[in-house]
Amino acid sequence: MPVVNLPTVDGRLEAYRLAEPRSWKRDGGRPFDRVALAAAHIVADPMADVDPWLTAAIDWDATIDYRRHLWSLGLGVAEAMDTAQRGMGLDWPNALKLIQLSVQAARDVPGAAVYSGVGTDQLAPTSSTTIDDVIRAYEEQIEAVEACGGRIVLMASRALVVAAKSPDDYAKVYGRILKQVKEPLIIHWLGEMFDPALQGYWGRADHIAAMDVCVDIIADHASKVDGVKLSLLDKGKEIRMRRRLPQGVRCYTGDDFNYAELIHGDEQGYSHALLGIFDAIAPAASAALSAHARGDLEEYWKIFEPTVPLSRHLFKAPTRFYKTGIVFLAYINGHQKHFVMVGGQESGRSLLHLVEAFKLADAAGLIRDPDMAASRLGDVLRVHGVAA
């Protein structure tokens, strides 16, 4: 196996030998016993003549190819959400094009699932933004996504945080939207650790008080809610909420720290999955979920447990920069030709952070071609002035 010289915190270089690549087993004919959606990243086009901090240039072919990779592993795709840099480089016009292309591509793949993010990001919130403005923005995006045959993840709205004066305003907005949608949707409660602009969502600063508001809204419109994705990085709060959901409404874990135990569940229930980390650990996630479906819990934990340190590292504070590590691993593993992101977000994490992500991915068996990975890591090191 190749050896690479990796920088350490004290400025030295330390030899590191990569592990043998792991072969992942998946029962192709057996469905998972949990719904499993990977929030997928986008691939930038580094050759486009644009101002990369201001204009999103996307390699559409490579981006859709990665969705095909996820579908081939039995995972569904959660499209145009925060992993795809929604609100951090991906604007609504490009998000809509991404959704249209993904939904179209899924039609050629038997069983492929796509849920697409709907928000209000075409509306720049100001002090004059009203609740009706927020409703109209949601309605515009819903109409566009439903027109192309897409299923909806109703994303949290920065504009609603600005416009709302009380929890009643959240109830008004969500009630209006849920009455209109054609099919049951997934509500996404994205915590402020992922997006500081969402502090105080549901009209309450305290998460438990906010949960009361959210659960009441869901209960009033349960027939239009497939589930709720909770992204608070707190397993206790997620377990508390899923025990309160109306019968038939799923809880989708968005907890990239504790997903393994939340998906497995306890004597009172379990969570399904809608996770950004599934983008980076897709082969392992597929194999672990296959093991769970066939009742091989020893294998389930054996696969998932080594991925948790990697996920906790990628999603460490400031959590919103986790996308940098996700795209870095996609590059290292040959799913794209470069380590460039829209919005210049490849600079969102330090070199030492990326090096640690590389080592943790290797420890979890997630480096599929060690020679290629070593070569590509060497290129990243040299860009940072490190002679690998």
Beta-strand (E) ranges in the chain? 3-7, 13-17, 36-39, 76-79, 114-118, 151-154, 185-190, 225-231, 250-253, 272-275
On whether residue 289 sits in a domain, the answer given is: yes
Taking residues 69-91, what's their average pLDDT?
A: 97
Residue pair 70/47 in contact (Cβ under 8 Å)? The answer is no
* pLDDT surpassing 70 at residue 388: no
- Residues in contact with 143: Cβ distance below 8 Å, sequence separation at least 6, in sequence order: none
Tell me, yes or no, whether 249 lies in a domain: yes
Residue 384 covered by a domain: no
Write the pLDDT tens digit of every residue in 130-160: 999 999 999 999 999 999 999 999 999 999 9
At 30 the pLDDT is 80
Residue 270 lies in a domain: yes
Domain count, the chain: 1
The rounded distance, in Å, linking the Cα atoms of 287 and 23 is 10
Q: Is the pTM of this model over 0.95?
A: yes
Is residue 15 one of the residues assigned to a domain?
no
* Angle between the N-to-C axes of helices 307-314 and 351-363, in degrees from 0 to 180, rounded to the nearest 10: 160
User: Which residues are CB-neighbours of 47 under 8 A, at least 6 positions away?
Assistant: none
Round to whole Å and give the CA distance between 192 and 207: 10
From 78, 66, 73, 77, select the one nearest 31 (Cα to Cα): 73
Q: Is the pLDDT of residue 373 over 70?
A: yes
200: domain range?
34-307
Q: Which tens digits make up the pLDDT trace of 101-129?
A: 999 999 999 999 999 999 999 999 999 99
CATH number at residue 170: 3.20.20.70
Give the integer Cα–Cα distance in Å for 120 and 92.
8
DSSP 96-125: HHHHHHHHHHHTTSTT--EEEEE--TTS--
Q: Is residue 223 part of a domain?
A: yes
Tell me, yes or no, whether 108 lies in a domain: yes
* 51 part of a folded domain: yes
